[in-house]
Amino acid sequence: MAELRVFVPTPLPEPLCELIEELEPRIELVRDQSLLPPQLYAGDHQGARDFRRTLSQQAKYERLIDSAEALYGVPGQSGQELRRTARANPHLRWVHTTPAGGGSQVKAAQLTPDELERITFTTSGGVHAEPLAEFAVFGVLAGAQGVPQLLEDQRNRVWGARRPVPLVANQRVAVVGLGGIGRAVARKLGALGADVVGVHRRDVDADGVSGIVPPERLGALLPDVDAVVLCLPATESTRHMLSRELLEQVKEGITVVNVGRGVTVDEEALIGALRDGRVGFAALDVFEQEPLPADSPLWGLPNVLVSPHNAGTYEEEERKIAELFAENARRLLDGEPLLNVVDTVEFY
Give the active site residues.
Answer: 261, 290, 309
Q: How far apart are CA 208 and CA 185, in angstroms?
A: 9
Q: How far apart are CA 281 and CA 65, in angstroms?
A: 46
| Sequence-distant (≥ 6) Cβ neighbours of residue 93 within 8 angstroms | 69, 70, 118, 119, 120
Asked if residue 291 has a cis previous peptide bond (ω within 30° of 0), the answer is yes
| Sequence-distant (≥ 6) Cβ neighbours of residue 139 within 8 angstroms | 227, 229, 255, 257, 281, 282, 283, 305
